Amino acid sequence: MNISIIIPVYKNKELLQKSFSHNYPFIKDCEIIIVNDYPEESIEDIFEKYSSVKLFTNEKNLGFAKTVNRGVKEASGDLLFLLNSDVFLQDDSFKKAVKLFTENKKLFAVSFAQIEQDKSIVGKNRVFFKNGFTMHEKAGDISFGPTGWAEGGTCIIRKSFFDELKGLNEIYSPFYWEDIDLSYRAKKKGYEVLFDPSIKVLHNHSSTIGKYMKEDFREIISYRNQFIFTWKNATTSQLFIHLLFLPKILIQSVFAGNSNLLKGFFRAALLVPKMV
């Protein structure tokens, strides 16, 4: 099975140059597709000496989901390795995932162990429904096995299943929750999502979003997309519980001065027609 590397890029040119030169020896045998989501800044000079790299530039800023989807359309591999520009590979151990896909025909994706700056390891998560909302958190262990979702910044996905699901849902643009939604839809189809702790990468989470997006904006989008995910994917009984809790949550937000949650709610409400 062949692997296509998809690297979405938004600003942070210096970090991109550093991570790519570090990662290239490990991925040079794969198809490499770069999609620049910040057309105001050219990154062609970084890849001049890498003749095999396929570089595409969006006409305007589209956000993570649309940028990844564009890269996937250009990919020819059986497997898609989504690799953020703030991820540093330790070796080529990601290729071990090929065996997992070969042996398990229902395997949708494999997520990796991610070493944070403080040396903690993340990457295995769980998704759950509580107090009327879909929530997520770090899993209690980092052993091999099922995980809540394949993290969009560093995971390998079976392309045929990705295409079947029509890729990342672009309603979540510019970022957050799109990878959770993709894995959720895959699981509903009966596919599996695994976490493999033997594949380790260094990942400085939110090094781009945190640098270029204001905290209030990030929080509003996070709330908005949490509402969207819940409304899209909740079962009938869960949606009923959500509607019971919703007035209380909104009223509490008013009195607590949590305007970001309220803004997230109204922004999500405006997108309801796109969910139908």
Locate the DSSP E strands across the chain.
3-9, 31-36, 54-57, 79-83, 87-89, 107-115, 121-122, 125-130, 133-138, 145-146, 154-158, 192-203
197/222 same-domain check: no
130/246 same-domain check: no
97/177 same-domain check: yes
Please identify, among 211, 231, 253, the residue that sits at the C-terminal boundary of a domain: 211
Task: Summarize the confidence of residues 60-82 as an average pLDDT.
Answer: 98
165/205 same-domain check: yes
135/260 same-domain check: no
Task: Summarize the confidence of residues 180-185 as an average pLDDT.
Answer: 98
Please identify, among 211, 237, 267, the residue that sits at the C-terminal boundary of a domain: 211
Q: How far is CA 175 from CA 12, 63, 121, 170, 211, in A?
A: 16, 6, 22, 9, 14
**Total structural domains within the chain:** 2
pLDDT of residue 117: 86
14/125 same-domain check: yes
Task: Summarize the confidence of residues 246-267 as an average pLDDT.
Answer: 97
Please identify, among 157, 189, 211, the residue that sits at the C-terminal boundary of a domain: 211
Question: Which residues lie below 8 Å from residue 215, measured CB to CB, with a gap of 6+?
Answer: none
28/146 same-domain check: yes
For residue 254, what are the domain limits? 214-275
Q: Do 144 and 195 contact (CB within 8 A), yes or no?
A: yes
| pTM: predicted TM-score of the whole model, two decimal places | 0.96
**Cα first-last separation, the chain:** 36
Question: Given pLDDT bands bounded at 50, 70 and 90, which one contains residue 210?
Answer: confident
> Which of 174-188, 202-216, 239-253 shows the lowest per-residue confidence on average (mean pLDDT)?
202-216
126/40 same-domain check: yes
Whether the predicted pLDDT of 24 surpasses 70: yes
174/64 same-domain check: yes
120/229 same-domain check: no
100/24 same-domain check: yes
234/201 same-domain check: no
> Which of 24-38, 148-162, 200-214 shows the lowest per-residue confidence on average (mean pLDDT)?
200-214
Task: Summarize the confidence of residues 165-188 as an average pLDDT.
Answer: 98
Entry field: residues in the chain: 276
> Could you tell me the CATH number of the domain that includes residue 134?
3.90.550.10
Q: pLDDT over 70 for what percent of the chain?
A: 99
* DSSP designation for 172: G
